[in-house]
Structure 1
């Protein structure tokens, strides 16, 4: 069961709240429709329930607020807006990535694909899906963790009749299994047809809380739609004949003045009347009319006329009634107690039972704080699927390898460049080799794509900065950078062997320090791009941070005046061995010494300083965000 109590959104710039003291319930085993016109506060109410917006009130999901649910995805399935997925990702890849985020087995993706009828489109890209298929994928994402409650905002918006009926059939099937379903709509007929319980709101306040049968009886009325160039004359004739026959008929003139809505009559009667008086009729059809929410007293001029229309209710028993002038003011056309009693009775029925007062009415309801999104429950698996689920990663790696091979062959042509620079394809004209730029770009995309396609933080406005997610991104980006570093050396060496022969490629004597410096450069560039993109929330910032190392930091470090050295670092390895808890073998001394030389190099020093600054900035922005929430 879902219980919303005292939901009130925060005021913005002195405007009235979008949701004002809204209280209702959605029971288990039934479908509840939240009905209201555009701008009535339906979406804001859902966002308050899900703690996506600040305000006041509380929403209980089976007795617990959402922030006290250990695994929210397994309790509540949400559909607000479109699927926040990369357009180049496949349908199955998107669901598998969300499986890792929700902590459910990957096989669950195929189960929900079968349930929503997308099993044959699992390999299709999200960007190529039609509107109906996108709605099915969104519903599959909501059902992924098998939640008890479904909250959906306009799930059938923009769909045809067949697709809309299928969507509502899925919702009824979920409710039949004991689940709770709440969806919003602005169509009263859709609410009456698809839901067992209808909650009507207007201007953010509760108007009616009814069962579907009572809602249909009081809100939806059969009518005859008539279109005629002499609509005013036809309305007067129909009203006069109904008065003479002592029948209760209501005639509503629409704002276009050529269309009538007649309640309490039939197509045959209206057609015969128009024929007898020689009036042309361009349209004559039976419809189901919406009388509008009964948000005020019954004599407010909205007796089914709708906005901008003139309503005339004729009571055949007295020949008199209430006439609305279209401006919201009621004009008394004489005593008509039967008509007034009928309208008053309908108003009470439309209002439904009086909602129970929220507990603690004398005091303000509890505050709703906008809470940050949660990170994935299986971060490493999530990050791997996110990285390799699109072709961008493969394309960047392929372009990097080809560019490195071409640059290596060109550098080795004149024989002046050192062999290490030739193998890693790093000419002196470039600030960084193509491989380092590729690693930095892949690292920047790790956070850049998260902010562009926020699958983890849909509707929350920020990507979660959890420690587990950060460590997973650092580990995966480092692994990709090291793999790319090895592939570049192998591809460059093979290219040189094919073009110039085997005599050119030889293992240098200082291979260990060179390998350490090359690996450190690649990993450092990947991490610099990742952290900068996470701080500034854009991929370009990550690439700029990578380029800033050789362009800005290295010249600044080289410009620092070097004073004469008074002390030596000799014996550093021995002192480190004494401080260490574990005694490493003497063969590792070369690796430690090589690492020290790498850090002491101007590029290594610049990269280390840049990473230190980025880590501090990332931690500062993360802590500031947590305090703000």
Structure 2
């Protein structure tokens, strides 16, 4: 159950807020539609509910706001627009990454893929999916954690008829199992056909909260759909009889052999066709702009001749008439038809078949909103959407509307909208998750490993770093005047950082930069959840990647130098231990700086800029601070520490501690340590600010 109370977005410059004091309820076991024209505030209302946008008001999901739910993905499944994933990631890899984040076994991804029909495309890249397949993947992401609530923003926009019907069936199946479904739409037809309750937004305010039956009666027009090979003749007869009986009847020619008749009944039209010997292939009640209400299997809707024939209603010839006898045209009918043909144009308006945006004819166009064919002197009242914009008299936000009193005997019976469950078997949902794994500190680490290894960015970056480092080492050896430690690191004095350190910083910046550019965890808590567990996982993976990159870079440089110049340049330095510690600390520190800076500034470019700024900006500042005779040296610090502790350092620990102290006291090491402390403090502050907000 969803309870939204007073949702109000922040006001914009010279414009009212997009959503102003919206309150409603979406009950469990029901499908609720949030209807509104483009710009009415539907998407903004969903973002306010999910705490993706700042504003006032609160939304409760089964009695708790989203920020008070320990695992939001288990409570709410969200589909907002396209799938927010890296375009180079595969469908299966994307779902398995989300499984790792939610603590689900990897087989859950295959179960969901089978339900949404993407098993054959499991290895396809996200940027190659069509609109329909992307929506299927988005629904798979929403259903992955077996949530109780589904929140979908215009899920059927741009989909084919079959794709939209399948998606609506999934929504209905989820509601039938006791879940809550809230979706937005701009089409009254879709809302009336799919939802149990319709909430109407206009100008950021809730103007109607109605049951679907009330919505169909007040916002949609009942009509009779007629299919006959003699559409023009039947239309002329209905016109003549309505004029004679002084009734208001509107006839819309839908194209081909189809008519839409407003203001009449199936019985009246059937009797007219029976009296005049007109063959009728279909005669059914419909809700205007909504489609047929009779249960029809999907194959019939898609155009299967056999199923369509079984689903159609035929009005046969009159009983007692000889089927083989030609009755011939009725003289009165011919006279009436000629009179109808000679009617002035302003008295008759027949709607032509409309086409969709892509040029395909629309099979079920909306009825005329302007002046149609009004026969008789009785005034015609258009019960269209514009006539009922206010709330239902018996409804209020968050309350159920009771149906009106029984209609009068003269009123036309209102057909009940068809539900997806009546049009055929509902699609299958993924099996429920009965037992969930206990929270584990390794869950963020598994997620980060799948995120980093699921795309080729890390592999391409590492290969480019190794090639650049080897070529630079060969070039420095050829030029000469480069110390051996800097030669093995391919680090000329003119370059602020070696290629391995820059590459490690770039990989670290990508770790958070991709989260903000392609926020796969957006459905969980906004853009990127600022949890310390996720930060620690990214720091550990970045450190391991940087360490591996540092070792491989030195190894490749040694191998290339040996192949090109021989063994004279690859001798091991006597002080290899402090040099190795400094090298590892530099590369790992650059990767951590990239991770923290990208997490604070929400950009990969900002993370890489922070890495490069350490030797260019921070190092000169540190050197300026350390200048002067009053600054003392830290040489002998390990020996003095041993004297203080009075314990023998095992395994030569004083040597390792001295190497660490030397690395820190160097300008680059001190500047890097200072930058890491500042970035970590900024990240913690932003995390605390997000929690308070």
Do they superpose with TM above 0.5? yes
Instruction: Using the TM superposition, give the Cα deviation of residue 380 of structure 1 relative to its aligned residue in structure 2, in angstroms.
Output: 1.6
Q: Paired residue for 2:472, among 393, 396, 407? A: 407
Q: Paired residue for 1:390, among 446, 455, 459? A: 455
1:221 aligns with 2:222: yes
After superposition, give the CA deviation of every residue in 1:182-207 in whole Å (9 maximum; x if it has no partner).
21212222223223333333334444
Q: For residues 197 and 274 of structure 1, do their structure 2 counterparts lie closer, same or farther at Cα, with a shift above 3 Å needed?
A: farther
Instruction: Give 2:262's aligned residue.
Output: 263
Q: Paired residue for 1:538, among 600, 603, 628? A: 603
Instruction: Give 1:297's aligned residue.
Output: none
Q: After alignment, is 193-202 or 13-22 more displaced? A: 13-22
Instruction: Using the TM superposition, give the Cα deviation of residue 5 of structure 1 relative to its aligned residue in structure 2, in angstroms.
Output: 4.1
Instruction: Give 2:616's aligned residue.
Output: 551
Instruction: Using the TM superposition, give the Cα deviation of residue 355 of structure 1 relative to its aligned residue in structure 2, in angstroms.
Output: 2.5
- Residue pair 1:408, 1:496 contacting (<8 A) in 2 also: yes
After superposition, give the CA deviation of every residue in 1:314-361 in whole Å (9 maximum; x if it has no partner).
6x6xx442678x9x9xxxxxxxxxxxxxx9xxx799937422678xxx
- Residue pair 2:73, 2:524 contacting (<8 A) in 1 also: no
- Residue pair 2:637, 2:658 contacting (<8 A) in 1 also: no
Q: Paired residue for 1:520, among 572, 577, 585? A: 585
Instruction: Give 2:199's aligned residue.
Output: 199
Give the distance between the partners of 1:18 and 1:612, measured in 2 at CA: 41
After superposition, give the CA deviation of every residue in 1:363-421 in whole Å (9 maximum; x if it has no partner).
xxxxxxxxxxxx99922222222222111100000011111112222223355422222
Give the distance between the partners of 2:441 and 2:602, measured in 1 at CA: 19
Instruction: Give 1:256's aligned residue.
Output: none
Instruction: Give 1:336's aligned residue.
Output: none
Structure 2 counterparts to residues 406-555 of structure 1, below 5 A: 406-413=471-478, 416-457=481-522, 462-555=527-620
Give the distance between the partners of 1:128 and 1:111, measured in 2 at CA: 22
1:321 aligns with 2:379: yes
Structure 2 counterparts to residues 609-628 of structure 1, below 5 A: 609-627=674-692
Give the distance between the partners of 1:263 and 1:127, measured in 2 at CA: 46
Q: After alignment, is 165-174 or 390-399 more displaced? A: 165-174
Secondary structure, aligned partner of 1:427: coil
Instruction: Using the TM superposition, give the Cα deviation of residue 616 of structure 1 relative to its aligned residue in structure 2, in angstroms.
Output: 3.5
Instruction: Using the TM superposition, give the Cα deviation of residue 554 of structure 1 relative to its aligned residue in structure 2, in angstroms.
Output: 3.3
Instruction: Using the TM superposition, give the Cα deviation of residue 463 of structure 1 relative to its aligned residue in structure 2, in angstroms.
Output: 3.0
Give the distance between the partners of 1:183 and 1:312, measured in 2 at CA: 36
Secondary structure, aligned partner of 1:39: coil
Secondary structure, aligned partner of 1:351: coil
Instruction: Give 2:304's aligned residue.
Output: none
After superposition, give the CA deviation of every residue in 1:512-534 in whole Å (9 maximum; x if it has no partner).
01101100110121122222222
Instruction: Give 1:351's aligned residue.
Output: 392
Instruction: Using the TM superposition, give the Cα deviation of residue 133 of structure 1 relative to its aligned residue in structure 2, in angstroms.
Output: 0.7
- Residue pair 2:522, 2:528 contacting (<8 A) in 1 also: yes
Instruction: Using the TM superposition, give the Cα deviation of residue 488 of structure 1 relative to its aligned residue in structure 2, in angstroms.
Output: 0.8
Give the distance between the partners of 2:665 and 2:110, measured in 1 at CA: 52
Instruction: Give 1:249's aligned residue.
Output: 249
Secondary structure, aligned partner of 1:439: helix
- TM-score, normalised on structure 2? 0.72
Instruction: Give 2:61's aligned residue.
Output: 61
Instruction: Using the TM superposition, give the Cα deviation of residue 596 of structure 1 relative to its aligned residue in structure 2, in angstroms.
Output: 1.2
- Residue pair 2:25, 2:398 contacting (<8 A) in 1 also: no
- Residue pair 1:3, 1:59 contacting (<8 A) in 2 also: yes
Give the distance between the partners of 1:408 and 1:494, measured in 2 at CA: 11
Extract unaligned runs of 5+ from structure 2.
Answer: 227-234, 254-258, 274-332, 355-361, 400-439
Instruction: Using the TM superposition, give the Cα deviation of residue 64 of structure 1 relative to its aligned residue in structure 2, in angstroms.
Output: 3.0
The number of residue pairs the alignment matches comes to 566
Give the distance between the partners of 1:49 and 1:561, measured in 2 at CA: 53
1:71 aligns with 2:68: no
RMSD of equivalent CA atoms: 4.1
- Residue pair 1:424, 1:488 contacting (<8 A) in 2 also: yes
- Residue pair 1:478, 1:523 contacting (<8 A) in 2 also: yes
